[in-house]
Chain A
Amino acid sequence: MIRAKDVRKQYGNKVALANINLNIPSGSIYGLLGPNGAGKTSFIRIMNQITAPDSGVVLFDNEPLKPADIGRIGYLPEERGLYKKMKVGEQVLYLAKLKGLSSSEAKSRAKEWFVRLEMEDFWEKKVEDLSKGMAQKVQFVTTVLHKPALLIFDEPFTGFDPINTNLIKNEIKRLNQEGATVIFSTHRMESVEEICDHIGLINNGKVMVEGLLLDIRKHYMNGTYAFTTKEEQTFSGMDVLHRDLQHTGHTATIKSEAYPSALIQKLAKESQLLGFEEVLPRVSDIFIDIVNNGPKPMNS
């Protein structure tokens, strides 16, 4: 859906994007991850044609971005808001018309969404009279109303209350199943792990790793194992990260350089081994790993 080739953006002396290459597949839920100031928003603004890259090109369905693509993108920026003095209904229609919908089309779709999210009584209210959670729903509707093929959410869950977060996560999943490609950009990596299938990790304007989330997590497995044993174990000579007692038995997460088979043999002698698995690293751990040790070549 989106392919960035050698995209560079510089503000004064600060390099926001240093010739990045990214590939966001059609139909994916893509996590664009990285700390604050990594260049996520800069890239998003380029996709939205708010700014243009200094060099390089962004392809949208294999063609360079063009003004008409704006109507195919739904964007919820990190800095988001609504006209406070304007009525909700009018505002939703105005934003939809700016995206190219006709008046009647915008109205019928908006009414549908208002029913679905149980906000029919907002229509005649002014935004300043809405609670924060209500305004967030309105904001979400304005982002998706024109049925965009690509949805971009920049830090979507900051400032959303838990109920709205869940509601909106589910709506986004549904839209994705209906065919929309979704990009989540956030510095809170754990918040999107369960929902994304692809990720791109960026830091200091560079892409550090990109691909299927599962592949990446497998690739960065680092000798962390979870054991369940009948009796409590000392795990002598091993690095114990975490211990717990569960109804299945004593669990422990350990880190070891040894081969898994050797570990199993050793532990099986000492206690009854009820469970064993190699643990997939979390995205935030992978990020720290890469920042400290550099990326692992994928063909190793």
Chain B
Amino acid sequence: MKSPILLIIQREFITRVRKKTFLLMTLLAPLLLAAVMIVPGLLASMPEDDKSIIVLDEPSILVPEEGTSQFSLEYLNPNEFDLETGKTFLRESDKDALLYIPSGNGWDPDFIKNNILLFGKEDIGIDLQRFVERQLEEKINQQKLIRQGVDPEVVAQTKTKVTIKSFTMGEEGNEETSATPLKMGLGYIAGILIYFFIFFYAVQVMRGVIEEKTSRIVEVIISSVRPRQLMMGKILGIGLVGVVQFLIWVILSGTIYVVVSTFIYPEIFAQQVPAGPGSPDLSTVDQTNLFSMLNSINFPVVLSGFVFYFFGGYFLYSALFAALGSAIDQEADSQQFMLPVTAPMIIAITTAMNVIQDPNGPLAFWMSMIPLTSPISMMIRLPFGVPIWQIALSALILVSTFFCVVALAGKIYRVGILMYGKKVTWKELYKWLKY
């Protein structure tokens, strides 16, 4: 005879893993994830369309610039063409765009810079416009310098680029190469993973509870097991599904990435894959420095922190979602309660960048103490190194909150699952705590 909670975990796990949607999600998600990693690299390496531009350069600013292989420049004779005939020429030619630079009265750079026109047969691409602007800015700058009596060559020589090597002073006096971009990436990715895991699986706990309620099986079950056992069995069973799915994803995504990057498109991955918008720029990581940077991150702490906050966050939120599910009759009614429950998580993820920028500041500190945000916020901070007492305090708060929430959620759950056809309010939920 098995203990009832094991039977519940087993059922929750098996019925979910056997579903076709599980198989589909488990196989498709790594493909999607791999696509997200690989496609930007592919796109960046694709040759872009060449554009040829005809230039009507009245003040002779650009002449004789020939442009690049991508954007080639050809000039119309200003003595033979004006703006209108230039446009007609463009229309009848196979060229892509017409750049018109007016001379104005007496070669005034400030007049010129404001009156340059660019006509395209199709929409002017942002790259093309930038290219033209950069070319013109450079030429007009030069002309201005010459007018002020400064030799542009001198200016070019005085240009300085500063490169700083940063170090972190270790507590034992050793100096470590600072690995800020790497830490940012690590913290951010780990935080986001926790966020998605909590959201995805805790909501499944809620769905499971609602399913048992609407199918009316719940009273049969709780005449055999304690409501709290049913709740915990469900949370653990679904958590187990999540862990298995997560591990398959990690392994599959990794395999796909390795296969694609070593065998199929090795030349693309020899360069750095450009970072997506919003994610920290890792391209500055110097390969030779990588090893010492990795050394500066306390991986045992980061890894065990990840596992702890991963599960801590999931358990906390899934208990809340279980209580929520028990209080309502159908998923559509969940909206009014979902937002207040998920708001802390959303705040944690939207303040992620602020936490990264100042990982030991007051915002980061408090966010990593509040139990509803700490699984995400503390995870983001961990790679930067967090004083051990803060980690301990945050973990202690999370664990004790979890036990309080399970006790309270268990009470609401116990009453809620047997309550049908009642529109539940916050006041009602509070009353249930005292039943």
Complex Cα spacing A187 to B47, Å:
80
Chain B residue contacts of A48, Cβ below 8 A: 223
Interface of A is mostly: loop
Assess whether B217 is in contact with A98, with CB atoms less than 8 Å apart.
no
- For A97, give its contact among B7, B211, B215, B431 (CB under 8 Å): B7
- Nearest Cβ on chain B to A144's Cβ, whole angstroms: 13
Does B25 lie at the interface of the complex (its beta carbon under 8 Å from any beta carbon of A)? Answer: no
Chain B residue contacts of A86, Cβ below 8 A: 15
Assess whether B220 is in contact with A80, with CB atoms less than 8 Å apart.
yes
Complex Cα spacing A49 to B11, Å:
23
Assess whether B1 is in contact with A95, with CB atoms less than 8 Å apart.
no
Given A12-B435, A94-B7, A102-B1, does the pair A70, B224 have CB atoms closer than 8 Å?
yes
Assess whether B217 is in contact with A82, with CB atoms less than 8 Å apart.
yes
- Of B211, B219, B414, chain A has the most CB atoms within 10 Å of the CB of B219
Complex Cα spacing A226 to B22, Å:
70
Assess whether B4 is in contact with A80, with CB atoms less than 8 Å apart.
no
- Of B15, B414, B431, chain A has the most CB atoms within 10 Å of the CB of B15
Question: B-facing mask of A62-84, CB < 8 A → 1, else 0?
Answer: 00000000100101110111111
| Residue in B closest to A96 when the chains form the complex, CB atoms | B224
Given A12-B435, A80-B216, A85-B15, does the pair A50, B418 have CB atoms closer than 8 Å?
yes
- For B224, give its contact among A81, A82, A83, A95 (CB under 8 Å): A95
Complex Cα spacing A229 to B61, Å:
131
Chain A residue contacts of B418, Cβ below 8 A: 45, 50, 79
Does B269 lie at the interface of the complex (its beta carbon under 8 Å from any beta carbon of A)? Answer: no
Does B2 lie at the interface of the complex (its beta carbon under 8 Å from any beta carbon of A)? Answer: yes
| Residue in B closest to A84 when the chains form the complex, CB atoms | B215
- Nearest Cβ on chain B to A152's Cβ, whole angstroms: 9
Q: How many residues of B contact A (CB 8 A)?
A: 26
Assess whether A79 is in contact with B216, with CB atoms less than 8 Å apart.
yes
- Contacts of B101-134 to chain A: CB distance below 8 A: none
Assess whether A98 is in contact with B225, with CB atoms less than 8 Å apart.
yes
- Nearest Cβ on chain B to A184's Cβ, whole angstroms: 16
Complex Cα spacing A77 to B420, Å:
14
| Residue in A closest to B224 when the chains form the complex, CB atoms | A98
- Of A45, A50, A84, chain B has the most CB atoms within 10 Å of the CB of A50
- Nearest Cβ on chain B to A154's Cβ, whole angstroms: 9
Does B221 lie at the interface of the complex (its beta carbon under 8 Å from any beta carbon of A)? Answer: yes
Chain B residue contacts of A102, Cβ below 8 A: 1
| Residue in A closest to B217 when the chains form the complex, CB atoms | A81
Does B222 lie at the interface of the complex (its beta carbon under 8 Å from any beta carbon of A)? Answer: yes
- Nearest Cβ on chain A to B224's Cβ, whole angstroms: 4
Query: How many residue pairs between the two chains, A and B, have CB atoms under 8 Å in the bound complex?
Result: 65
| Residue in A closest to B8 when the chains form the complex, CB atoms | A98
- For B221, give its contact among A11, A51, A73, A98 (CB under 8 Å): A98
Given A81-B217, A85-B15, A100-B1, does the pair A50, B223 have CB atoms closer than 8 Å?
yes
Does A142 lie at the interface of the complex (its beta carbon under 8 Å from any beta carbon of B)? Answer: yes
Assess whether B220 is in contact with A95, with CB atoms less than 8 Å apart.
yes
- Contacts of B224-245 to chain A: CB distance below 8 A: 224-225, 227
Assess whether A12 is in contact with B431, with CB atoms less than 8 Å apart.
yes
Does A40 lie at the interface of the complex (its beta carbon under 8 Å from any beta carbon of B)? Answer: no
| Residue in B closest to A139 when the chains form the complex, CB atoms | B220
Does A99 lie at the interface of the complex (its beta carbon under 8 Å from any beta carbon of B)? Answer: yes
| Residue in A closest to B420 when the chains form the complex, CB atoms | A79
A selection of 26 A-B contacts at a CB cut-off of 8 Å is: A11-B435, A12-B431, A45-B418, A49-B223, A50-B223, A51-B414, A70-B224, A75-B220, A75-B223, A77-B220, A79-B216, A79-B219, A79-B418, A81-B216, A82-B215, A83-B15, A84-B215, A85-B15, A94-B11, A95-B221, A95-B224, A98-B7, A98-B8, A98-B225, A102-B1, A142-B220
Which 8 A-B residue pairings sit nearest by Cβ, starting from the closest? A81-B216, A77-B219, A98-B224, A48-B223, A81-B215, A75-B223, A79-B216, A81-B217
Given A49-B223, A83-B215, A99-B224, 13 other A-B contacts at CB below 8 A?
Answer: A12-B431, A12-B434, A48-B223, A70-B224, A77-B216, A79-B216, A79-B219, A79-B418, A80-B220, A97-B1, A97-B2, A98-B221, A98-B225
Chain A residues proximal to chain B, CB less than 8 Å? 11-12, 45, 48-51, 70, 73, 75-77, 79-86, 94-95, 97-102, 142
